[in-house]
Amino acid sequence: MKITLQFALASVLLMMGWRIAHAADLPRAGDTAPSFLLADQSQKTHALSDYAGKWVVLYFYPKDDTPGCTKEACSFRDDLGQLDKLGAKVIGISVDDSDSHARFAAKYHLPFPLLADKDGAVAEKYGALNNFGIFKIARRYTFLIDTQGKIARSYSSVDTSRHSQEIIEDLKKLRNP
């Protein structure tokens, strides 16, 4: 029991240390957002350059159809009208494939692109990849990208129950300083 508890504690501390050490890998406000070219749930290819002149809410999430990811996606879906009025486009990215994204989008009526970053290369560019060798998963990070393609805000600590509203509040402030 004592060894199991020590192992669990050591694992948690290692992950916390790793997260802090890699926080410097995140693009920061003012940095040019890393480009991408990925297929969505309908096999349509999307590039960041397709959204030039628009605000982009680029959110990375761990796994389709899991409780936290579903809550986050549905919140963006429910708040899409407000985000549209603010000129923002929502894009989700995970390491799941397009077929998984298609099932997830259909099940929850998600009207925005979910991009398949199967090898995790884009998530890695954004510092949002947990790579465990044979297993990769995206971290729950979001990047608000301005009309010039620059990172306006990054979110590495996301509360799925209020994240969409947090983005809306920040967009209002950033658009009308």
* Band (3; pLDDT cuts 50, 70, 90): low
Q: Two tokens at 12?
A: 């948690």
Concatenated DSSP letters of the chain: -HHHHHHHHHHHHHHHHHHHHHGGGS--TTSBPPP-EEE-TTS-EEEGGGGTTSEEEEEE-S-TTSHHHHHHHHHHHHTHHHHHHTTEEEEEEESS-HHHHHHHHHHHT--S-EEE-TT-HHHHHTT-EEE-SS-EEE---EEEE-TTSBEEEEESS--TTTHHHHHHHHHHHHH--
How large is the average pLDDT for residues 114-131? Answer: 96
* Band (149; pLDDT cuts 50, 70, 90): very high
* Range name among 55-64, 89-98, 125-134, 164-173 with the lowest pLDDT average: 125-134
What's the mean per-residue pLDDT of the chain? Answer: 89
Cα(169)–Cα(150) distance, rounded to whole angstroms? 19
The catalytic residue among 38, 69, 88, 167 is 69
How large is the average pLDDT for residues 125-141? Answer: 93
Residue 103 has pLDDT above 70, yes or no: yes
Residue 69 known to be catalytic: yes
How large is the average pLDDT for residues 77-103? Answer: 97
C-beta separation of 48 from 167 below 8 A: no
Domain architecture of the chain: domains with CATH = 28-175 (3.40.30.10)
